[in-house]
Amino acid sequence: MPSFLNKDNKKIDRVLDSIVAEALRFLSDLDNRAVGASLPANFKPVNLTDEGMGVETALAIFKERYESWLSGGAGPRYFGFVTGGVTPAALAGDWLTSVYDQNALGSNESIAPQLELETIRDRLRVC
Protein backbone atom coordinates (compact mmCIF):
# COMPACT_ATOMS: atom_id res chain seq x y z
CA MET A 1 0.00 0.00 0.00
CA PRO A 2 1.43 3.43 -0.90
CA SER A 3 2.57 5.47 2.10
CA PHE A 4 0.08 8.27 1.40
CA LEU A 5 -2.79 5.77 1.79
CA ASN A 6 -1.48 4.78 5.22
CA LYS A 7 -1.24 8.46 6.17
CA ASP A 8 -4.77 9.11 4.87
CA ASN A 9 -6.16 6.15 6.82
CA LYS A 10 -4.54 7.36 10.05
CA LYS A 11 -6.24 10.75 9.77
CA ILE A 12 -9.56 9.65 8.27
CA ASP A 13 -11.49 11.43 11.04
CA ARG A 14 -9.93 14.79 10.11
CA VAL A 15 -10.38 14.07 6.40
CA LEU A 16 -14.09 13.34 6.89
CA ASP A 17 -14.49 16.42 9.09
CA SER A 18 -13.01 18.58 6.33
CA ILE A 19 -15.29 16.96 3.74
CA VAL A 20 -18.35 17.59 5.91
CA ALA A 21 -17.24 21.22 6.35
CA GLU A 22 -16.80 21.58 2.58
CA ALA A 23 -20.20 19.99 1.92
CA LEU A 24 -21.88 22.35 4.39
CA ARG A 25 -20.11 25.35 2.86
CA PHE A 26 -21.15 24.33 -0.65
CA LEU A 27 -24.77 23.62 0.30
CA SER A 28 -25.06 26.92 2.17
CA ASP A 29 -23.93 28.76 -0.98
CA LEU A 30 -26.29 27.05 -3.47
CA ASP A 31 -28.55 30.09 -3.77
CA ASN A 32 -25.58 32.12 -5.02
CA ARG A 33 -24.56 29.65 -7.73
CA ALA A 34 -25.91 29.46 -11.24
CA VAL A 35 -27.77 26.21 -11.89
CA GLY A 36 -25.89 25.86 -15.17
CA ALA A 37 -22.11 25.99 -15.37
CA SER A 38 -20.34 28.53 -17.56
CA LEU A 39 -17.10 26.76 -18.37
CA PRO A 40 -13.84 28.49 -19.26
CA ALA A 41 -12.92 28.64 -22.94
CA ASN A 42 -9.32 27.43 -22.53
CA PHE A 43 -9.51 24.73 -19.91
CA LYS A 44 -6.02 23.25 -19.81
CA PRO A 45 -5.48 19.56 -19.00
CA VAL A 46 -4.23 18.68 -15.55
CA ASN A 47 -1.08 16.59 -15.15
CA LEU A 48 -1.53 14.04 -12.39
CA THR A 49 1.18 11.71 -11.17
CA ASP A 50 0.98 7.94 -11.54
CA GLU A 51 1.97 7.50 -7.89
CA GLY A 52 -1.01 9.27 -6.35
CA MET A 53 -0.92 12.20 -3.97
CA GLY A 54 -3.15 11.56 -1.00
CA VAL A 55 -6.60 12.82 -0.21
CA GLU A 56 -5.74 16.30 1.08
CA THR A 57 -3.67 17.21 -1.99
CA ALA A 58 -6.26 15.69 -4.33
CA LEU A 59 -9.08 17.65 -2.68
CA ALA A 60 -7.04 20.87 -2.74
CA ILE A 61 -6.33 20.44 -6.47
CA PHE A 62 -9.99 19.66 -7.16
CA LYS A 63 -11.19 22.66 -5.21
CA GLU A 64 -8.68 25.05 -6.78
CA ARG A 65 -9.25 23.79 -10.31
CA TYR A 66 -12.98 23.00 -10.45
CA GLU A 67 -14.86 24.49 -7.47
CA SER A 68 -15.65 27.83 -9.07
CA TRP A 69 -17.19 26.02 -12.06
CA LEU A 70 -19.51 23.75 -10.05
CA SER A 71 -23.16 24.50 -10.73
CA GLY A 72 -25.90 24.96 -8.17
CA GLY A 73 -27.79 22.01 -9.66
CA ALA A 74 -27.96 20.30 -6.27
CA GLY A 75 -30.45 22.91 -5.13
CA PRO A 76 -34.20 23.28 -5.64
CA ARG A 77 -33.84 25.77 -8.53
CA TYR A 78 -32.67 23.15 -11.05
CA PHE A 79 -35.42 21.66 -13.19
CA GLY A 80 -33.37 20.03 -15.96
CA PHE A 81 -33.97 16.54 -14.56
CA VAL A 82 -36.14 15.12 -11.85
CA THR A 83 -32.94 14.41 -9.95
CA GLY A 84 -32.16 18.03 -9.04
CA GLY A 85 -31.74 18.70 -5.36
CA VAL A 86 -31.00 16.42 -2.46
CA THR A 87 -32.77 15.77 0.82
CA PRO A 88 -30.80 15.21 4.03
CA ALA A 89 -31.90 11.54 4.04
CA ALA A 90 -30.77 11.05 0.43
CA LEU A 91 -27.41 12.67 1.16
CA ALA A 92 -26.91 10.45 4.20
CA GLY A 93 -27.82 7.37 2.16
CA ASP A 94 -25.47 8.36 -0.64
CA TRP A 95 -22.52 8.94 1.70
CA LEU A 96 -23.12 5.75 3.68
CA THR A 97 -23.45 3.70 0.49
CA SER A 98 -19.83 4.59 -0.24
CA VAL A 99 -18.74 3.96 3.34
CA TYR A 100 -20.46 0.57 3.67
CA ASP A 101 -19.34 -0.45 0.14
CA GLN A 102 -21.40 -3.65 0.01
CA ASN A 103 -20.94 -6.02 -2.90
CA ALA A 104 -24.43 -6.73 -4.23
CA LEU A 105 -23.27 -9.38 -6.68
CA GLY A 106 -24.05 -12.56 -4.77
CA SER A 107 -26.89 -13.40 -2.44
CA ASN A 108 -24.59 -14.69 0.32
CA GLU A 109 -22.01 -11.90 0.30
CA SER A 110 -23.92 -9.07 1.98
CA ILE A 111 -27.33 -7.80 3.01
CA ALA A 112 -27.56 -5.78 -0.24
CA PRO A 113 -29.74 -8.26 -2.20
CA GLN A 114 -32.23 -8.47 0.69
CA LEU A 115 -32.41 -4.68 0.84
CA GLU A 116 -32.97 -4.62 -2.91
CA LEU A 117 -35.90 -7.07 -2.59
CA GLU A 118 -37.43 -5.03 0.24
CA THR A 119 -37.16 -1.89 -1.88
CA ILE A 120 -38.83 -3.59 -4.86
CA ARG A 121 -41.65 -4.89 -2.65
CA ASP A 122 -42.14 -1.43 -1.19
CA ARG A 123 -42.26 0.18 -4.64
CA LEU A 124 -44.77 -2.43 -5.89
CA ARG A 125 -46.97 -1.70 -2.90
CA VAL A 126 -47.07 2.00 -3.84
CA CYS A 127 -47.93 1.38 -7.51
- Looking at residue 85, what is its pLDDT? 66
User: Diameter of the chain by CA atoms?
Assistant: 52
Question: What CA–CA distances, in Å, run from 6 to 21, 53, 83, 108, 109?
Answer: 23, 12, 36, 31, 27
Give the CATH number of the domain where residue 98 resides. 3.90.1150.170
- Looking at residue 116, what is its pLDDT? 85
Evaluate if residue 13 carries a pLDDT over 70: yes
Evaluate if residue 24 carries a pLDDT over 90: yes
Distance CA 28, CA 25 (A): 5
Evaluate if residue 84 carries a pLDDT over 70: no
Evaluate if residue 58 carries a pLDDT over 80: yes
In terms of residue numbers, what domain contains 85? 3-126
Confidence (pTM):
0.75
Mean pLDDT of 106-117: 80
- Looking at residue 83, what is its pLDDT? 61
Higher pLDDT pick, 108 / 95: 95
SS3 call for 47? coil
Tally of domains within the chain:
1
Task: Kindly report the average pLDDT of the chain as a whole number.
Answer: 85
